[in-house]
Amino acid sequence: MNAMTLSRQYFTEIARPYLQEDFPHLYPALAAGLVGNGSECFGYDDEISRDHDWGVDFFIWLPEENRDLVPALQAWKSALFDKHPPVYPRTRSEYGARLGVMTAGDFYRSLIGFPQGPQTLEDWRRIPEENLAMAVNGEVFMDNAGAFTAVRRRLLEHYPEDLRLKKLAARCMAIAQTGQYNAIRCYRRGDYVTLRAVTARFTDSVISAVFLLNRVYKPYYKWAFRRMTELPVLGPELGPELTAVALSPIDDPDSFKLLDARLRRICDRLGAELINQGLSSSDDWFFTSHAEEIRQKIRDPFLKSLPTQYE
């Protein structure tokens, strides 16, 4: 049982027929679905998720020219839920996401800042990646005019290639600095707290690189690893390795030797995929070489001029 399935069923069987009957002239312009903030929108809700901000609900999205009808539709939706209460009504906490009625532009503006999606490289750079992930997750139950889905479809095409390359180059630099350079130094100094921080930063950089190689937006950190393991390129292979890194003891020579071997295997597999995708041809084990090769493929003068570790 998950909230997406329950919400889709409620909308299809109960809400949609009433919506069509009560707003016949507006209905052809409406869209509806469950997208955005919340574990249910990624399909990851479970028993633990049900203690707050969970249950049946959905958005209704209108065109901008029908903005004045938002209050009427919101009142209609509230009355519908009162008349036909879901078996699992959505609970709402003080800080939880609010689902309701809004224009499609306002929905996208609330998540990514641009009602029609980003138009320039600078627009794209300003949007947190987790917000892009929320803008394209979940399900659109209906989109009668297609306007909501048109923006969604463009976002799903992923970053402009120059920005993807810049981000990937930065991740390669971070991987080199953490797992390949500083991990061994922290161990030799006996600084285990910083070593844990280093392996955590390494893990996050590897996860991010896998998303970029799959051309999928990395979600909120709580779901990033789980989502990564589902991605076809490297996800199933690196998931167990990163789990082993997280569970590795680090305070004796044999344990660190095993950890270091895992870090190397991860880098070897990731480097091979960079070569496989034609992003690098370097056979240097150190990831700064991959980073520089990737940066050289960037065409935009400003992005290319930035230090490799910046995005």
- Residues spanned by the domain of 216: 161-305
144 and 175 both lie in a single domain: no
- pLDDT of the residue at 134: 97
Residue 151 domain flag: yes
102 and 241 both lie in a single domain: no
Q: What is the mean pLDDT of the chain?
A: 94
Burial 61-81 (b: 16+ CB within 10 A, else e): bbbeeeeebbeebeebbeebb
Of 127, 156, 185, which marks where a domain is finished? 156
165 and 237 both lie in a single domain: yes
Of 107, 124, 156, which marks where a domain is finished? 156
- pLDDT of the residue at 23: 97
Percentage of the chain exceeding pLDDT 70:
98
Mean pLDDT of 119-145: 97
User: Can you spell out the DSSP letters for 185-241?
Assistant: HHHHHT-HHHHHHHHHHHHHHHHHHHHHHHT-----HHHHHHHHHHSTTTHHHHHHH
For residues 200 and 104, what is the distance between their CA atoms, to the nearest angstrom?
37
Contact 55/4 with Cβ under 8 angstroms?
Answer: no
Of 156, 185, 214, which marks where a domain is finished? 156
Residue 115 domain flag: yes
- pLDDT of the residue at 1: 73
Contact 130/218 with Cβ under 8 angstroms?
Answer: yes
pLDDT band at 51 (very low <50, low <70, confident <90, very high): low
- pLDDT of the residue at 91: 76
pLDDT band at 95 (very low <50, low <70, confident <90, very high): low
257 and 295 both lie in a single domain: yes
Contact 279/294 with Cβ under 8 angstroms?
Answer: yes
116 and 219 both lie in a single domain: no
Residue 310 domain flag: no
73 and 180 both lie in a single domain: no
- pLDDT of the residue at 15: 97
pLDDT band at 29 (very low <50, low <70, confident <90, very high): very high
152 and 170 both lie in a single domain: no
* Tally of domains in the chain: 2
240 and 287 both lie in a single domain: yes
The answer on pLDDT for 97 being more than 70 is no
pLDDT tens readout for residues 236-292: 999 999 999 999 999 899 999 999 999 999 999 999 999 999 999 999 999 999 999
Residue 140 domain flag: yes
